């Protein structure tokens, strides 16, 4: 099954599901709109909760802006618990090139570690997929 765009806010974020791989790829262009941040995360949590995804790759390499404290609160109070209940295996974040964005976006990596799923920081989407293949590959029955 090909990848499917499940959420798109042009100029801000695109969320793509690869159901065969059980992977969500979230590509951020710009942080700053609370409604978009929450909507994109809620879509992701729904996919994890329904068993359609087990890995989330968040590509923030070329993003600008920072998630607000309110956004991060929603993430830690609502989304991370839903991820854990849904059986999320890992979140891999492609580190932003912008130092300002990196400081803000990396807060979710620190806060996510308490939810008992691995949180990785990587240099590229390709590096993220290599870690998934090495450490989170599904075994065939």
CATH number of the domain that 125 lies in? 3.30.750.24
Instruction: Indicate the number of domains in the chain.
Output: 1
**Alpha helix locations (H) across 67-137?**
69-74, 80-86, 99-105, 107-112, 125-135
Q: Coil, strand, or helix at residue 3?
A: coil
Q: Running DSSP on this structure, what letter comes out for residue 106?
A: T
In this structure, what are the phi and psi dihedrals at residue 76, rounded to the nearest 5 degrees? -80, -30
- Domain annotation covers residue 75: yes
pLDDT in tens, the chain (141 residues): 689 999 999 999 999 999 999 999 999 999 989 999 999 999 999 999 999 999 999 999 999 998 888 988 898 899 999 999 999 999 999 998 877 777 666 666 666 667 778 889 999 999 999 999 999 876 443
- pLDDT of the residue at 133: 94
Contacts of residue 65, Cβ cutoff 8 Å, sequence gap at least 6: 30, 31, 32, 101, 104
Answer for the pair 89, 118: CB distance below 8 angstroms, yes or no.
yes
Strand 55-59 with 90-94, pairing: parallel
Please give the structure tokens belonging to residue 9: 């806010």
- Domain annotation covers residue 140: no
Pairwise CA distance, residues 31 & 82, whole Å: 22
User: Residue 121 sits in which domain range?
Assistant: 4-135
- Domain annotation covers residue 90: yes
- Domain annotation covers residue 62: yes
- pLDDT of the residue at 106: 63
């Amino acid at each position: 099954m090909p990848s499917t765009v499940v959420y798109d806010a042009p100029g801000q974020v695109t969320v793509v599901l690869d159901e065969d791989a059980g992977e969500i790829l979230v590509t951020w262009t710009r942080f700053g709109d609370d409604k978009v941040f929450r909507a994109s995360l809620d879509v992701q949590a729904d996919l994890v909760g329904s068993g359609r995804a087990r890995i989330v790759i968040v590509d923030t390499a070329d993003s600008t802006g920072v998630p607000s404290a309110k956004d991060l609160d929603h993430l830690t109070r609502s989304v991370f618990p839903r991820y854990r209940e849904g059986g999320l295996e890992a979140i891999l974040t492609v580190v932003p090139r912008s130092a300002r964005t990196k400081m803000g976006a990396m807060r979710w990596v620190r806060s996510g570690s308490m939810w008992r799923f691995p949180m990785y920081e990587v240099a590229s989407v390709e590096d993220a997929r290599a870690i998934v293949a090495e450490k989170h590959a599904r075994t065939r029955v």
